[in-house]
Amino acid sequence: MPPFGDYRNAWGVTEGSDELCLNQIRYLLEKEGDIGAVIAEPSRAVPYIAAPGFWKRVRELCNQHGALLIFDEIPTGLGKTGQMFSCNHDEVVPDILVLGKALGGGMLPISAVVCQPELNVAGHFAIGHYTHEKNPVTSRAALTTIQIIEEEGLVENAARVGQQALTGLEALQRHHPLIGDVRGRGMLFGAELVMDRESREPATEAADRVLYKALSRGLSFKTTMGNVLTFTPPLIAGREEMDRALAIIDESLTEVEQELGLI
């Protein structure tokens, strides 16, 4: 179903998209009656952040209708948003939580499924044997990754430096007409580029130009949805590195806006 996000969404509204999304979830659960689970990203990696209380209400709906709540935290878990898990911001505990990518410390491929004790039944069933299943080397890497994150305070660092980045992007928004919206949390944040702030016309070509100009200056990121500059720096990024990154974004935006005659 269409996700929340007031700046751009399937309903064409500029506020209340989370309520519309919640009503759809409620409708489907009530209409179908036998839905096994609601699967979602607690924070969308575009990024989009749900309104306060949204996931608590989804949790309540799942409880009312006997559906499991499953969170995909592959892009957002292990400190990316300034909490160990993104759902911690909303004080919501899912029935099942999926991890991956960062779990291997950026070196080894491993994923994990964390669940409530009563759902931990996989050990009682033969689900087959696969090449990389139960690999002790990758398991050790995952445990060491979690240990380092905790011992070196990387979750707290992500919160601090991420807030610095978001504040910096908001400052850039006041000076760059291309930036229509700034959003994010921790080390997951982004800027949506538009040709006009009133019409919110996506600035897809401009976003590509900014991307390549930033790359030429040594800053790597990606664009999502065509026009959103999406930044996911590592948990170890420091304040000086973030200042330099923001300066590169500033320089790249200025150059593109000059080329387009926006300034």
Q: Tell me, what's the pLDDT at 107?
A: 85
Q: What is the pLDDT of residue 263?
A: 84
Per-residue confidence at 136, pLDDT binned at 50, 70, 90?
confident
Q: Which amino acid is at 23?
A: N
- pLDDT value, residue 198: 93
> In the predicted model, what is the mean pLDDT of the chain?
94
pLDDT digits (tens, 9 = 90+) for 162-178: 999 999 999 999 999 99
- Give the CATH number of domain 17-151: 3.40.640.10
Q: What is the pLDDT of residue 161?
A: 98
Model pLDDT for residues 251-262, shown as the tens digit of each residue? 999 999 999 999
DSSP one-letter code for 103: G
Give dist(CA 145, CA 102) in Å, integer.
8
Q: Give percent of the chain above pLDDT 70.
A: 97
DSSP strand E in 112-237: where? 112-115, 179-185, 188-196, 201-202, 222-224, 228-231
Domain ranges of the chain: 17-151, 154-260
Predicted local confidence at residue 74, as pLDDT: 95
pLDDT in tens, 175-193: 999 999 999 999 999 999 9
Number of neighbours of residue 127 by Cβ within 10 angstroms: 8
pLDDT digits (tens, 9 = 90+) for 33-82: 899 999 999 998 888 999 999 999 999 999 999 999 999 999 999 999 99
Q: What is the mean pLDDT of residues 91-96?
A: 97
Residue 123 has pLDDT above 80, yes or no: no
| Superfamily of domain covering 154-260 | Aspartate Aminotransferase, domain 1 (3.90.1150.10)
Q: Is the pLDDT reported for residue 131 higher than 80?
A: no
Q: Which residue has the higher pLDDT, 106 or 132?
A: 106
Beta bridge partners of 39: 70
pLDDT band, very low/low/confident/very high, at 132 (cuts 50, 70, 90): low
The reply to whether 154-260 shares the fold of 17-151 is: no
pLDDT at 3: 81
Q: What pLDDT shows up at residue 127? A: 67
The answer, as to whether pTM is greater than 0.75, is yes
**Token couple for 224:** 């999502």
